[in-house]
Structure 1
């Protein structure tokens, strides 16, 4: 007998069809609804086009960019110091596509109602394909408010920051039509406490805003070291100040900016994060001397917003993969998606994903209307609330989504391991959980009108007795100021849930809002998949399962 004919031992069955090439916009009904609801509907065709890219070539590029991590070259073959980071072509494809489609520039270059929402929608799609490239894209986007505080520098840099041309060459900004910006704040002795920074700035001539300085010091985290310039902090005689430090001097010589090493990180692998030294690096002061933290906060507020959008995106892609898998995978002769306990889990994940998206795009809507005092105060508070809550929820949610897929969600052929490793960066970067919660207290106690803006947003709870009771509890909690810092996490969580519940109620889909309120404001479980009785889990699962590819 020829046993060779039996070497192929089985036929592959019971596997879901590939999602390769799916338009991530068209398979995401909640995203479509919330973009329209928050004022970005005019950009639907633009977001739709990006959805096709994100689910197709950018998704493939994301895998390649993570498999081929950036490589640091300190010297060339002749021994000259060059401080170059080499990226795989897939990374450049991700950057080029995003910049050409206006992800760092849209709301600034074309300000109009809904512009921040539209840009957030595209960023949401991009981050599902590959989140690491989001670091320089976000910082370039977020640099604009800070640069505008120094008009002379803004005049030089903003046209190229807002350009839709990607140029990764290692040349001075004068030779480029478009540039990217990064950030270098953290020092090893201070971490979050940037006022403990020891980097010093010495005036080259006259001191003051817009003037040239030379910086000496070390930064333990410098994000995206191949950017064309960086916003950074250094001490002057008047205190911590903000500076714009380019990689090249005006005469095209390399600046005294030295990469020490690239960080070996848990995730965010396609992106280069580094330690750097300034050895007399030429930089220009932005904003008032000694007011570096308030100046750079103009940038940080926007990067925190993108942490919200990015975490929401990771959750959505995890849900997409899990729901798609369960819609096609059979166990015991029945589809996983038809089995009650799996429906409970998937529905719970769908609620978490949509609530995160709703809060993120509501923030984008507020950014589109900062001229309105109510919206500005709401944005001030919810930047910290959303950064804390959404980013905190993402890792556990993604872990649960991977578990829905069993071993298929644990192997590197799947995107789930990458999503899981990526999630913690958003909760850590730009201020970890405690920093955000303390900022919530700072906004509520020190900035007039912020607490009133919160309760104006929440209103009467749309008549839902559970939300009304939750709002009343919040009011009592803020009246009691004893040990309020100790309670800051609980207060921040309660604010987040209240706003998410209000947004879902306001949207008018009772299946979603009732389930969210019953599980988040009621006696819900402590893990995903413990929704109370009476929830229409089938409708929730169907709403978030990809059908139109």
Structure 2
């Protein structure tokens, strides 16, 4: 009797057709914890609607298509005229448009706005991370522009608008309801050392107006309506607003020399641009460019944390989903003790990242000086640690799918290629560690706020108490502080995560985190947690039930 050779068995169904938001217990609990009661019900409904779209087969297909067909640069038209235009696949516009209309550039000035937006950003990142770049920069441009009330009055309503006009041809911002923003800070000779920039700003007769000349090494989302740019004015490094289209409808001089061929983040265009007599409007005072733009940088650094938490969540959800359906060696993988240990270890990392990201978003919603001081240290520490954990988590989650995970169709390779980006963007690991040291040395109120936050959980877990004690000893020792900055910042981030989980996570999660991350009871690889822990509960909590 003939048998079929193409019957598909023992393969999990696709992880689609589910609500990405409500399936994430760590995230839903954080939203309930941090949002004011008067907006909670509405926010939950908004996020559930967004989560249902994010988990749909259509949205997941948008993400795949936007990466399979990356942006294309057209420097000239058929007649030889310079046009500097980037074409995107329609799927990219579907993703970005859906994000804008769902408020992912609108956090400022509404109750619980940053928590709501961060939760939505974490959810929607799980469709595609590339288009999160213009979303983040548009959102983050607001605090920088607020240093100039006149500019803010014109641009902020358009930046926070929930109208997407990105598919249309570039035209003056005055004619648009909604706009997108980018930034251009780094140059080939300096990188993160922006004070080494050589782009020159020449003042014009009109107050606040300049012409820029120079070459920017990284300018992301070059089809945006406006950009915040750093350049050397007569008074020193200064922040400027550069529109793509001038008020009279003519194109500003904005020459896109090439698009970067990146490891990942394929759906998003990152470019090199040249300015040659490019019109710009000064933002803030001459010589205070870093201070002016730092509000934007802080907000985008938080998005790096949130985005990495989203990538980790999707990677872990895929791994747990696969293990719940795949059988091997006489049973379902999720029930195998060793696989359960791996999945639980990954789930701990994901939940700790989500809990920390949402705590930072809640601090952004507060007007408290103590919360502002807390953010000064907590944001770079979280940016350092959470973004660094993203790559090993994603790689291990891919391995949980075996050979299937190494195949492009699984989506896991795209997550893995994306995973290092947030650690590099907006200042790599050393920059974040040194920024924490700078805050420790110059802003004692920031350390006080940080220690008060972690100390809230003192007495609840002896391993956390021991970790806090050891951290205080490290902070008191200034010998060789720069060389051991990474070690110090790692401990700060872990202690903060442990404090948050002890207060807010289920006992099984907090116990496993403190035992492994603070108590040292684990090996160097994932899947080396103490076998006596309640690992089944940790894994079940991380499962996205379709």
Please say whether Structure 1 and Structure 2 have the same fold, judged by a TM-score greater than 0.5: yes
Pick from 481, 499, 503 the counterpart of residue 496 of structure 2: 499
* 1:529 and 2:530 matched: no
Decide whether aligned partners of structure 1 residues 460 and 99 sit closer, same or farther in structure 2, where only a CA change above 3 A counts. closer
Aligned match of 2:87? 86
Aligned match of 1:391? 387
Aligned match of 2:122? 124
> How far did residue 155 of structure 1 move?
1.6
Farther-moved stretch of structure 1 (275-284 vs 39-48)? 39-48
SS at match of 1:321: helix
Pick from 431, 454, 460 the counterpart of residue 458 of structure 1: 454
Measure, in 1, the Cα distance between the counterparts of 2:256 and 2:105.
25
> How far did residue 303 of structure 1 move?
0.2
SS at match of 2:449: helix
CA RMSD across the alignment:
1.3
8 Å CA contact retained: 1:462, 1:505: no
SS at match of 1:128: coil
SS at match of 2:448: helix
8 Å CA contact retained: 1:187, 1:219: yes
Aligned match of 2:5? 9
* 1:425 and 2:425 matched: no
Aligned match of 1:378? 374
Pick from 506, 511, 516 the counterpart of residue 519 of structure 1: 516
* 1:30 and 2:26 matched: yes
SS at match of 2:266: coil
> How far did residue 146 of structure 1 move?
0.4
Measure, in 2, the Cα distance between the counterparts of 1:10 and 1:223.
46
Measure, in 2, the Cα distance between the counterparts of 1:510 and 1:77.
65
> How far did residue 102 of structure 1 move?
0.7
Aligned match of 1:171? 171
Alignment of 1:461-500 (within 5 A): 461-463=457-459, 464-500=461-497
Measure, in 1, the Cα distance between the counterparts of 2:156 and 2:148.
11
Pick from 139, 142, 147 the counterpart of residue 141 of structure 1: 139
Pick from 443, 448, 452 the counterpart of residue 444 of structure 2: 448
TM-score (norm 1): 0.96
Measure, in 2, the Cα distance between the counterparts of 1:467 and 1:129.
36
> How far did residue 508 of structure 1 move?
5.0
Q: Deviations for 1:201-223, whole angstroms, at most 9, x for unmatched residues? A: 0011155xxx1100000000001
Measure, in 2, the Cα distance between the counterparts of 1:175 and 1:387.
37
Decide whether aligned partners of structure 1 residues 460 and 177 sit closer, same or farther in structure 2, where only a CA change above 3 A counts. closer
8 Å CA contact retained: 2:105, 2:161: no
Instruction: List runs of 5+ in structure 1 lacking aligned partners.
Output: none
> How far did residue 460 of structure 1 move?
5.5
8 Å CA contact retained: 2:457, 2:503: no
Aligned match of 1:70? 71
Farther-moved stretch of structure 1 (156-165 vs 320-329)? 156-165
Measure, in 1, the Cα distance between the counterparts of 2:311 and 2:34.
21
* 1:202 and 2:202 matched: yes
Aligned match of 1:55? 55
SS at match of 2:471: helix
Measure, in 1, the Cα distance between the counterparts of 2:513 and 2:404.
29
> How far did residue 38 of structure 1 move?
2.1
8 Å CA contact retained: 1:305, 1:383: yes
Q: Deviations for 1:100-146, whole angstroms, at most 9, x for unmatched residues? A: 111011x21x521x221111110001101110000000000000000
Measure, in 1, the Cα distance between the counterparts of 2:541 and 2:143.
38
> How far did residue 39 of structure 1 move?
2.1
Pick from 172, 196, 218 the counterpart of residue 215 of structure 2: 218
> How far did residue 319 of structure 1 move?
0.4
8 Å CA contact retained: 1:460, 1:468: no
Give the number of equivalent residue pairs.
537
Aligned match of 1:95? 96
Measure, in 1, the Cα distance between the counterparts of 2:343 and 2:198.
49
> How far did residue 23 of structure 1 move?
1.3
Q: Deviations for 1:504-538, whole angstroms, at most 9, x for unmatched residues? A: 11015111100000000112211111101321111
Pick from 345, 350, 353 the counterpart of residue 350 of structure 2: 353
TM-score (norm 2): 0.97
Aligned match of 2:408? 412
8 Å CA contact retained: 1:266, 1:421: yes
> How far did residue 251 of structure 1 move?
1.1
* 1:248 and 2:242 matched: no
8 Å CA contact retained: 1:462, 1:506: no
Runs of 4+ in 1 over 3 A off after TM superposition: none
Measure, in 2, the Cα distance between the counterparts of 1:256 and 1:507.
52
Pick from 225, 229, 254 the counterpart of residue 232 of structure 1: 229
Decide whether aligned partners of structure 1 residues 130 and 508 sit closer, same or farther in structure 2, where only a CA change above 3 A counts. closer
SS at match of 2:472: helix
